[in-house]
A and B are shown apart, each in its own frame.
Chain A
Amino acid sequence: MTPGPVGGPVRVLVADDDPDIRQLVELAVSRAGLELVASVGTGTAALAAIREHRPSLAVLDVAMPGLTGLEVCAAVRADPAVSGMRLLLLSASVHGEAMEAGGAAGADDYLPKPFRVKELAERIGGAVGVR
């Protein structure tokens, strides 16, 4: 397991309502050498898991039931306990405004679907400073 910046393993949360995509992202996390702490299918569950596990990075789908990925981003940034974590959004939307909305909600990076697993693994590693 790759150590994080403070010595412990880098912990990652994955949230996507599509189980197939979620499994792909989990594989990318694994290939990046990071620890998967939770993998959930709704925004509400993602926010709860973030507050519970306090991961270094969350990979969030934008369109999820319950809270959207954008709303989870905004809630994280508004919560001092977890506001410093890294957030990476995935979305099947290719609108420029979708990316802008992600940035405005506090996301650190944005990757449109479909993506190459290899590229996602690199982005995940890059987001937490692990290459």
Chain B
Amino acid sequence: MISFKKMAFVGAMVASLAAGGIAHAQSSMDDPARADYYQDLKDKRVVFVPVFMGLDLTEGWSKLMAQQAQALGYKYEVRNSNFNTAAGAQTLTSLITEKPDVIVVQNPDVQSYAKLLARAEKAGIHVIQLNMKTNVLTTGFVGADVVSLAQTQAKAVADKCGAGTSGKVLILAGPPTSPFSAYMLKGYDNVLSANPAIKVVSVQSTGDYESAKAKSIAQVVLQQNPDLCGILGVWDNTDVGTAAALKEAGKTDQVFLSTSGGGGELACKGLQEGMWQHYVSYDVPGQGRDLNSLIVASMEDKNSVGSIKTILYTPLKVLTKDSVKNQSCWTLDTIH
């Protein structure tokens, strides 16, 4: 009787120990991919060559890239080309000899860097193009589909300026050869040419996205076309000037202004204050995450550089005065 009790006790103990032992063995099993993953990324080097730092876009992307680099233990640095294409080209040339693992580049126009980027890839450096695309494909492109972005803008303006209005539209573009001009005009044209009611009264470049220039062009065109119905703007920071022209002319309510940008605080402010009525955001926080994923993917890639080419058109978000009531725009402090 006693021995049976004892046996039961010992049996229970053995069972519980065994159960505990098994549970312990389950929790301590290691993910076989982890060690290689962190080892592969450690001490790699990523260099960002933006068109210009000091903008919400570039500062936002850069902060996200720097955070991931710190978390994963690889090096990250910024080489600002300060709106100088020649300086940017020089940076790329010296990077080709320095051989970082990944170059993230924002192209000022569709042509200038094309050959250098191809050379960098040939030298074994992964090149990821960010939001502003050249006409050559490299390891990756992360950014807005500018044609689609422009079509979204144009559709909104075409809806607003249909029958019963003057149908007159002003297009304010960026520098003539920049992707945010060349591809954008294509997108506008795709939609507007199918709308016979729309009459494009003027297509003008705002130089290097200058708000002062946008303002003076808008003023001249408003003077010539007091019944202007819509404006297709190129970028939120530029269209601050466009909005100022509309406000001074007292035509904020009459003219429908659609613009685009990274969806930073200026986007919300502009919609709330009625500077623009329609905003297509390419969502910098989302782009940053996509970009970081592609950076990691290319550093893990064991194939020869350039054998895999990935295009990630990042999702676009349409913001209006009503929609920003429910969602907030990012700032450098909130982005992470």
The judgment on whether A and B are partners is no
Q: Which residues of A contact B (CB under 8 A)?
A: none
